[in-house]
Amino acid sequence: MHGRMLAIESSCDETAAAVVERTEAGELAVLSNIVASQHDLHQRYAGVVPEIASRAHLEKILPVIHEALASAKLKLCHVDAVSVGIRPGLIGSLLVGVSAAKAIAWSLSKPFFGIDHVEAHLWSGLLGQSAAEFPALGLVVSGGHTSLFHLDSQMTPTLLGSTIDDAVGEAFDKAAFMLGLPHPGGPHLEQLARGGNPQAHAFPLAQTDALQFSFSGLKTAMLYAVRGVPAGRGKSSHFTRSHRDLPQGAKADLAASFQRAAIASVLRRLREAHARYPCKTLCVGGGVVANQALRHELMVFAVERNIALRMPPQEYCVDNAAMIGGAAWMRIVRGDAGDPLTMPAQPNSALASAPTMRGTR
Ligand code: KG4
Ligand code: ZN
């Protein structure tokens, strides 16, 4: 089974297309991976505005697909199958990519694969890597999802736990907003944290059930640390200072301490999952895996336990279409012929926690 997969992703604020080839030797090669980000459009709202996102997807979807084909030096007629992120996500955004993918698959009479976005993040570390050994644990940490999985030899993910409030990337974004950093704040907060003392503030770790995550308490602790505990009560409650009143060094300390607490919270659940479900491989993915401090902790975790770590390079951490193509190829290899063109886009996924609005306030 070999050929070229055109993959499309439009579930949130990235319009992406990629060509992923499976060679005769069974290797997955990413021939192109184009991502058009809408961050500048959502910047002034400090969060993703669904209507703006879907309109921008409409404008960018065809140019992005053409660019993915052109940079792979291919024409549409060279495509053997089409895949798309079909759930979960903003429904207006999903529909743009899904409609384009279905139209292309139909016009070429090629197989169509509707891929779960969370599952694609989960397998993104396998792109260009040798197959994983099972059983495995999976961790997806992104702006929309924070989930732990157990993976059996059939590569069927079983959700062990997820966040009961914010996703970890969302918490990074909100903490960054509190510090006056641009959206999406995760990478900016990481940058600021480099100059700070991670021990400066002892932020709390959530006391949830062992395999569940929670970041709202950390977020509130961060808010009070930045702006002070609000004075007054009820309607007259107000903050006495803003991030502008803090010297740069104090902001860096807050960023570093927040990052340390958020990562410690993730690692604590991972340790608990490993104690309950010993594994040979750890598959991680999602935008927050782009964070160098988290990558380091994950590497240490895996080395100490003699577990193979499947962690994507940074370009496949944040939303992209190569991971969609990779996940579709894995289905083909398992003998899957594809999905009907009647398959609907869906805002939710059984692999994700309840969807949250990704605003920042
Ligand atoms: O996977 P992704 O692109 O979108 C979702 O599926 O949600 O993840 C985006 C999230 C954002 O919250 C962003 O701030 C966060 O990943 N992120 C980071 C870093 N790079 C991206 N968080 C912390 N440190 C980073 N370096
Ligand atoms: Zn994602």
Tell me if 248 is assigned to some domain. yes
- Per-residue pLDDT band at 361 (split at 50, 70, 90): very low
Cα of 286 to ligand 1 centre, how many Å? 7
- Per-residue pLDDT band at 80 (split at 50, 70, 90): very high
Tell me if 90 is assigned to some domain. yes
Model pLDDT for residues 192-229, shown as the tens digit of each residue: 999 999 999 999 888 878 899 999 999 999 999 999 98
Q: Is the pLDDT of residue 354 over 70?
A: no
Tell me if 101 is assigned to some domain. yes
Are 286 and 341 in a shared domain? no
Model pLDDT for residues 281-295, shown as the tens digit of each residue: 999 999 999 999 999
User: Between these two residues, 71 and 232, which has the higher pLDDT value?
Assistant: 71
Q: What is the DSSP annotation of 127-167?
A: TTSPPPPSSEEEEEESSS-EEEEEE-TT--EEEEEEBSS--
> Is the Cβ atom of 47 under 6 angstroms away from ligand 1?
no
The separation between the first and the last C-alpha atoms of the chain, rounded to the nearest angstrom, is 48
Domain count within the chain = 2
pLDDT at residue 157, as a whole number: 92
Tell me if 40 is assigned to some domain. yes
**Average pLDDT, integer, range 316-336:** 96
- H helix intervals, 109-246: 117-123, 168-178, 186-193, 216-227
Are 291 and 145 in a shared domain? yes
> Is the Cβ atom of 172 under 6 angstroms away from ligand 1?
yes
**307, two tokens:** 């577990």
Are 157 and 223 in a shared domain? yes
Are 201 and 251 in a shared domain? yes
- Per-residue pLDDT band at 350 (split at 50, 70, 90): confident
Rg (CA), the chain: 21
- Per-residue pLDDT band at 49 (split at 50, 70, 90): confident
Tell me if 105 is assigned to some domain. yes
**Average pLDDT, integer, range 181-189:** 95
User: Between these two residues, 76 and 152, which has the higher pLDDT value?
Assistant: 76
Q: Whose C-alpha lies nearest to ligand 1, atom 3?
A: 318
- Among the bound ligands, the one closest to the CA of 316: 1
Q: How far apart are CA 301 and CA 329, in angstroms?
A: 29
Are 156 and 284 in a shared domain? yes
pLDDT at residue 353, as a whole number: 59
Are 49 and 196 in a shared domain? no
Cα of 325 to ligand 1 centre, how many Å? 20
Tell me if 359 is assigned to some domain. no
Are 38 and 96 in a shared domain? yes
Flag the least confident range among 89-93, 149-153, 227-231, 236-240.
Answer: 236-240
Tell me if 238 is assigned to some domain. yes
pLDDT at residue 266, as a whole number: 97
Are 109 and 220 in a shared domain? no
Are 31 and 113 in a shared domain? yes
Are 157 and 288 in a shared domain? yes
Cα of 141 to ligand 1 centre, how many Å? 8
Residue 70, amino acid: A
**Average pLDDT, integer, range 93-121:** 98
Of 177, 266, 318, the one to substitute when testing ligand 1's pocket (max ligand atoms within 8 A of C-beta) is 318
Rounded to the nearest integer, the mean pLDDT of the chain is: 93
Are 338 and 195 in a shared domain? no
Residue 89, amino acid: G
Tell me if 360 is assigned to some domain. no
pTM: 0.94
Q: Is the pLDDT of residue 356 over 50?
A: no
Flag the least confident range among 112-121, 231-240, 284-293.
Answer: 231-240
Are 101 and 145 in a shared domain? no
**Average pLDDT, integer, range 27-56:** 89
Domain that holds residue 40: 3-127+315-349
Flag the least confident range among 12-16, 119-123, 236-240, 312-316.
Answer: 236-240
User: Between these two residues, 235 and 79, which has the higher pLDDT value?
Assistant: 79
Q: What is the CATH number for 58? A: 3.30.420.40
Q: Whose C-alpha lies nearest to ligand 1, atom 21?
A: 287
- Among the bound ligands, the one closest to the CA of 324: 2
> Is the Cβ atom of 116 under 6 angstroms away from ligand 1?
no
Q: Name residue 85's beta-bridge partners.
A: 115
